[in-house]
Amino acid sequence: MITFEDVVKVYPGGATAVDHLSLELPTGKITVLVGPSGCGKTTSLRMINRMVDPTSGRILIDGRDVTQQDAAQLRRGIGYVIQHAGLFPHRTVLDNVATVPVLLGKTRREARTAALGLLERVGLTADFAKRYPAQLGGGQQQRVGVARALAADPPIMLMDEPFSAVDPVVRAQLHAEFLRLQQDLGKTIAMVTHDIDEAIKLGDHVAVLRTGGRLAQFATPRELLAAPADDFVASFVGRDRGLRSLSFDSAAELPVRPVDGIELDDAGRPVGLPGVFTKDDSLRVVTDLVISSPGGVAVRVGPDGAADGLVSHHDLADYLASRRS
Amino acid sequence: MNFSYLTDPAHWDPSNPGSIPNLILSHLGYTALALLIGAVIALPVGLYIGHTGKGSFIAINAGNAGRSLPTLGLLMLMVTLLGLGLLPVLIALTVLVIPPILTSAYAGMRNLDHRVVDAARGMGMRPWQVLTRVELPMALPIMLSGFRNAALQVVATATVAAAVGLGGLGRLLIDGLAVNDYSRVLAGAIVVAALAVLVDLFLALIQRLIVSPGLKGS
């Protein structure tokens, strides 16, 4: 657990970057710090690994004050991913990934062997090992950046706008892989972004900061959408909060009616309908299907792809209304 | 054009102390010494100024001032102050090589991608490790280009050593002029030019070997 205790950071010159921040980032979860520029989110992140030291207040990792620890030693135990990856241009991809294990005293050979496994883990083939960063695309560089941060298997990862330098298609891909990776690894992750949608998508918890470095709200994404603390948070979270909050609700409980009036093939799979959903999908997916399908009906399918239920406009509206009461 | 001095085998006989091979050796000796002393002085200063940003005006002004000093004039001044010998020559040549080495070390450090340096620190490198494992290798292409520049200048200018009674390829120029032997002057000019090209090629090869392929074309 990472704990901010009444942390203040005033830069020389008098600008207050972080103003009495108290926060707990739970172990094994993704906590996203989000806010407009000048809200102190990056400064807060960088105080965790002592790239910046607080003016007052304390930051504790599992109860130990970070400023009582040797900065370099502390940082080797914390993964660090930054925007544009910040890879070492003069080192191969493999040696970039091997950096921290080598700092920790592993031989170059051991570190390289382990690094190869990590490349695979972040979705890069062994062909990339001998390349240099300049030969990679933005998304690939970012993957190497993540592999490099994971190399010493640190319990904590700090990620400063890790996905903002890549195009939206690659970003969505990286998001999905990142969440899958986190499911396996269960790291304690602190991430900074200015993109509220990214925060809601990736965070287990979201800390919304306002300009001047004050915490506006700390909540789960779902709470943030359902009950923004004030006008600032509401406007920052943006439009379509209701629809977006449906992403967090499973379609598993949604009642369905018997399959009737749609064309099925021999195996019972619907024919000619582009959109089907499963019990694992969210209510947002179902809502979208119901709205966009020509007949106003979404088809639910089982694991084998066979249709096992229908949902109409009315069914969905009734269900959503019943949830409110 | 008279190449007779250059093509006379007697002038290439190493056992003769005034032969071209021996003059080349002493010429290279002055060059290497001046580069070595210059690098020992200018590299740390340039790196420090570039790293900290403190005293940038020194790097810029020292560069300009050094470039505008006439080496021959400085040499004569040093001889007046210190008497004849190797020392005044080395001082004059060292003053010549310091500006390009210092300014390129400074520029190499100033042009580092600060995000990469930030990542290095954030991963737990100590300041010395950041310098030796990240900053220096990244600054190396610019630093080496300054060093090559300095080497070229000093190879061409080390001929002044002969003006104060020392050896080196300047002997061919000075002695040739003194006895109106233009074939000898021509030989000196050709050998100095060829030596400059060879030294530069040699340093280019070194650069290829020690600069990471990842930094090529950047």
Which residues of A fall within a CB distance of 8 Å from B140?
A: 90
Tokens read off for B38: 């210059």
Q: Which residue of B has its CA nearest to A82?
A: B119
Q: Is A92 on the interface with B (CB under 8 A)?
A: yes
Q: Is-contact A206 A224, C-beta < 8 A?
A: yes
Give the least confident one: A90-104, A288-302, B56-70, B161-175: B56-70
Q: Categorize the per-residue pLDDT at A241 as very low, low, confident or very high, splitting at 50, 70 and 90.
A: confident
Distance in angstroms (rounded) separating the CA atoms of residues A262 and A294 = 12
Q: What is the pLDDT of residue B32?
A: 96
Between B123, B134, B140, which is nearest A75 by CB? B123
* CB atoms inside a 10 Å sphere around CB A144: 26
Q: Categorize the per-residue pLDDT at B59 as very low, low, confident or very high, splitting at 50, 70 and 90.
A: confident
Give the least confident one: A244-253, A272-281, B88-97, B148-157: A272-281
Q: Is-contact B147 B182, C-beta < 8 A?
A: no
Domain ranges of chain B: 21-215
Q: Is B126 on the interface with A (CB under 8 A)?
A: yes
Between A86, A89, A148, which is nearest B215 by CB? A89
Q: Above 50 in pLDDT, residue B5? A: yes
Q: Is-contact A103 B129, C-beta < 8 A?
A: yes
Q: Is A72 on the interface with B (CB under 8 A)?
A: yes
CATH assignment of B21-215? 1.10.3720.10
Q: Is-contact B154 B139, C-beta < 8 A?
A: no
Q: Which helix (H) or strand (E) holds B55?
A: none
Q: What is the pLDDT of residue A226?
A: 87
CATH assignment of A2-246? 3.40.50.300
Which residues, listed in sequence order, are joined to residue A24 by a DSSP beta bridge?
A3
Distance from the Cα of B147 to chain A's closest Cα (Å) equals 20
Burial of B50 (0-12, 13-18, 19+ CB in 10 A): buried
Give chain B's mean pLDDT: 91
Give chain A's mean pLDDT: 91
Which has more confidence, B126 or A262?
B126
For the segment A120-153, what is each residue's pLDDT rounded down to a tens digit?
989 899 999 999 999 999 889 999 999 999 999 9
Q: What is the ipTM of this complex?
A: 0.82
Q: Categorize the per-residue pLDDT at B218 as very low, low, confident or very high, splitting at 50, 70 and 90.
A: very low
Q: Is B214 on the interface with A (CB under 8 A)?
A: yes
Q: Which residue of B has its CA nearest to A78?
A: B123
Q: Categorize the per-residue pLDDT at A273 as very low, low, confident or very high, splitting at 50, 70 and 90.
A: low
Between B125, B129, B214, which is nearest A132 by CB? B214
Which residues of B fall within a CB distance of 8 Å from A148?
A: 123
* CB atoms inside a 10 Å sphere around CB A225: 24
Q: What is the pTM of this model?
A: 0.82
Q: Is B180 on the interface with A (CB under 8 A)?
A: no
Average pLDDT over residues B71-96: 89
Q: Which of residues 127-166 of B touch A (CB under 8 A)?
A: 129, 134, 137-138, 140
Between B122, B138, B212, which is nearest A51 by CB? B122
Fold of the domain built from segment(s) A250-324 = CBS-domain (3.10.580)
For the segment B27-38, what is each residue's pLDDT rounded down to a tens digit?
999 999 999 999
Q: Above 50 in pLDDT, residue A205? A: yes
Which residues, listed in sequence order, are joined to residue B136 by a DSSP beta bridge?
none
Q: Above 90 in pLDDT, residue B155? A: yes
Residues sharing a CB contact under 8 Å with residue B217, sequence separation 6 or more, in sequence order: A134
Q: What is the pLDDT of residue B156?
A: 92
Q: Above 80 in pLDDT, residue A80? A: yes
> Using CA atoms in the order A256, A261, A265, A269, what is the torsion angle rounded to 10 degrees?
-20
Tokens read off for B204: 């280019």
Q: Categorize the per-residue pLDDT at B125 as very low, low, confident or very high, splitting at 50, 70 and 90.
A: very high
Whether residue A80 and residue B122 make contact (CB cut-off 8 A), yes or no, is yes
Q: What is the pLDDT of residue B136?
A: 95
Distance in angstroms (rounded) separating the CA atoms of residues A147 and A97 = 6
Q: Which residue of B has its CA nearest to A72?
A: B124
Give the least confident one: A4-18, A304-318, B120-134: A304-318
Q: Categorize the per-residue pLDDT at B73 as very low, low, confident or very high, splitting at 50, 70 and 90.
A: confident
Q: Categorize the per-residue pLDDT at A274 as very low, low, confident or very high, splitting at 50, 70 and 90.
A: low
The most distant pair of C-alpha atoms in chain B lies apart, rounded to whole Å, by 68
Distance in angstroms (rounded) separating the CA atoms of residues A10 and A233 = 24
Whether residue A132 and residue B124 make contact (CB cut-off 8 A), yes or no, is no
Which residues of B fall within a CB distance of 8 Å from A102?
A: none
Highest mean pLDDT pick, A161-165, A189-193, B72-76:
A189-193
Q: Is A187 on the interface with B (CB under 8 A)?
A: no
- Over its C-alpha atoms, chain A yields an Rg (Å, rounded) of 23
Q: What is the pLDDT of residue A140?
A: 93
Q: Categorize the per-residue pLDDT at B204 as very low, low, confident or very high, splitting at 50, 70 and 90.
A: very high
Q: Is A84 on the interface with B (CB under 8 A)?
A: yes
Q: Categorize the per-residue pLDDT at A164 as very low, low, confident or very high, splitting at 50, 70 and 90.
A: confident
Domain ranges of chain A: 2-246, 250-324
